[in-house]
Amino acid sequence: MKVIIIFGPPGSGKGTQAKLLAKQLNLIHFSTGEELRKEANKKTKLGKQINSLISQGNLVPDELSTQITQNFIFSNKKKNILLDGFPRTLKQAENLLTFFKKIGCDKILVINLKVSKKELINRILERAKIEHRKDDNKKTIKQRLKVYHNQTKPIIKFLRRNKIKIFNFNGKGNIEEIQKEITKKIKFD
Ligand code: ADP
C-alpha cells in the first residue's frame, strides 16, 4: 500500500486538491473532517459532542480521529490512499506511523500546502457564503488557525525526522495551476 498525506492549514485548499489528485493518481480520498461532519450531523450523544468541538474550532479527541482513519485505511489496505486532515497532532502522527509499519505501507509522501494567514481567512469567509459550514466564521477561524499552529504544524518536523519526504507547494493561485505543480513533482509508482 502507498499513501499520500495532504497537509496544510484550514483554507489552504487541501480538500480541493485532494479530490483532483485522487482522480488523477487513482487514489482513494479520505477526509477525516468530512467523516467527522457526517457523524456530527447525527443526533446521537457522540454526534453532539463532535458538533460542539468542531463548531468551536477545536479538534476531536485523538482516539476518535485515529480510530475512524485507521478503520478506513485497514479496510482499503490493498489500495493506495490519499489522507486529507490526518494526522493533525503529534500523537496522531505517531499512531499513524506505528500503524503503517504494522500493516506494511511501503511508501509515504507528504504534500504541504503553504498559504498566508490573511489569504486563509479571506478564503474561508468566501467559502462560508457557499457551503455554510458551522466552523467557517471569523471567531472559529481564529481558533482553527491557532490549533493548526500549535498542534498540527509541528508534525512536519516530526515526519522529517522519521525520513518521510515532504513536498512544499505554494497554495496561493489558480486551482489547476497548483494541481499541475503538484503532479509535476509527485510521482507515485
Ligand atoms: P479544515 O482543514 O478547513 O479545518 P477539515 O474538514 O479538514 O477542514 O476539518 C474540520 C474540523 O474537523 C477540524 O477543525 C476539527 O475539529 C475536525 N477534525 C478534522 N480532522 C481531524 C483530526 N485528524 N483530529 C481531530 N479533529 C479533526
Mutating to test ligand 1, I would choose from 54, 90, 134, 136 the residue with most ligand atoms within 8 A of its C-beta, which is 54
CA of 33 to the centre of ligand 1 (A): 4
- Closest by Cα among 120, 153, 158, 104 to 13: 120
Are residues 27 and 4 in contact, defined by beta-carbon separation less than 8 angstroms?
yes
For 152-170, the pLDDT digits (tens) are 999 999 999 999 999 999 9
Rounded mean pLDDT, 174-183? 96
Task: Report yes or no: 140 and 128 within 8 Å, Cβ to Cβ.
Answer: no
pTM, entire model: 0.96
Q: What is the pLDDT of residues 37-93, one digit of tens each?
A: 999 999 999 999 999 999 999 999 999 999 999 999 999 999 999 999 999 999 999
Of all protein residues, whose CA lies closest to atom 4 belonging to ligand 1? 10
